[in-house]
Amino acid sequence: MSASERDAAFGPKHAEVYELTYRHRGKDWGEEAAAVARRIRARRPGARSLLDVACGTGAHLEAFRAGFDHVEGLELSPAMRERAVRRLPGVAVHGGDMRDFALGRAFDAVTCLYTAIAYLPTVAAMRAAVRTMAGHLLPGGVLVVEPWWPPERFIEGYVGADLVRDGDTVVARVSHSTRRDRAALMDVRWLVGRPAGVSEFRTLEAFTMFTADEFTAAFEDAGCGVEHEEAGLNGYGLFVGVRRG
């Protein structure tokens, strides 16, 4: 894998078509944020502040802002973070890695959604991220993490495809997934057509397939009781933890 290929995932070209592609699949960030907020308030009715970790382009964060008095975001990718900052003037969107960020304040809720945690390469890295996120919770605060597929649900050689038209823009996406130990390696080819011409790029993404037991242990060791939902928001499942006092 070359540096240019590795850096393409969530770089400027990917960020430009990211929301368009998933919106075409029916993804509704506002509906998902509302569903997460309901889970948070079921456990912490007076929740007023929220941190969205790996907030991407800020689509969930924008919806959270309507329901919480204070929201902030954290995003590692400069291209994705730039879009979130433009989208949410006045909202702090920090650059940082979910494994070791330190914002100097605690929140009623911390979220890490749409499989972002699966981009971490090892169980130790995932545990570090859960510990760091839990460390930004007030006592009784709620941590919500959406994983990727567990190992038993992976399909070797799976081919995914999207064809999206939005006005004068057409995006075609084809992916192919293979397994290497605990990682699902997804090779994605993109074609983007506009009146000025057609461009193409490639993203190579690696998802670590953590087990439910590994997530549960990470939450417990970070000082959180945890519940596991098998379906969650998008079929991947959901882990909802509450930090012990």
More confident residue, 186 or 9: 186
Question: Is residue 99 located within the same domain as residue 54?
Answer: yes
In this prediction, residues 70-96 reach a mean pLDDT of: 98
Question: Is residue 146 located within the same domain as residue 225?
Answer: yes
Question: Is residue 214 located within the same domain as residue 231?
Answer: yes
CATH number assigned to the domain comprising residue 190: 2.20.130.10
Share of the chain above pLDDT 70, in %: 97
pLDDT tens by residue, 147-156: 999 999 999 9
Domain that includes residue 226, residue range: 3-150+209-243
pLDDT tens by residue, 173-182: 999 999 999 9
2 pLDDT above the threshold of 70: no
In this prediction, residues 183-197 reach a mean pLDDT of: 97
Query: Residues 82, 16: contact at Cβ < 8 Å?
Result: no
* 51 vs 154: CA distance, rounded Å: 30
CATH number assigned to the domain comprising residue 56: 3.40.50.150
Question: Is residue 213 located within the same domain as residue 202?
Answer: no
Question: Is residue 38 located within the same domain as residue 159?
Answer: no
The pLDDT score that the predictor gives to residue 9 is: 87
The pLDDT score that the predictor gives to residue 8 is: 64
The pLDDT score that the predictor gives to residue 236 is: 96
- φ/ψ (deg, to 5) at 176: -135, 130
Question: Is residue 114 located within the same domain as residue 200?
Answer: no
What mean pLDDT value characterizes the chain?
A: 95
Question: Is residue 91 located within the same domain as residue 60?
Answer: yes
The pLDDT score that the predictor gives to residue 6 is: 39
- What separation in angstroms does the CA of 171 have from each of 12, 27, 54, 192? 15, 16, 24, 5
pLDDT tens by residue, 102-150: 999 999 999 999 999 999 999 999 999 999 999 999 999 999 999 999 9
Question: Is residue 157 located within the same domain as residue 235?
Answer: no
For the whole model, what pTM was predicted?
0.95
Q: How many domains does the chain have?
A: 2
Question: Is residue 100 located within the same domain as residue 127?
Answer: yes
Helix H or strand E segment including 15 = helix 12-24
Question: Is residue 239 located within the same domain as residue 203?
Answer: no
* Residue 133 C-alpha from the chain's centroid: 13
204 pLDDT above the threshold of 70: yes
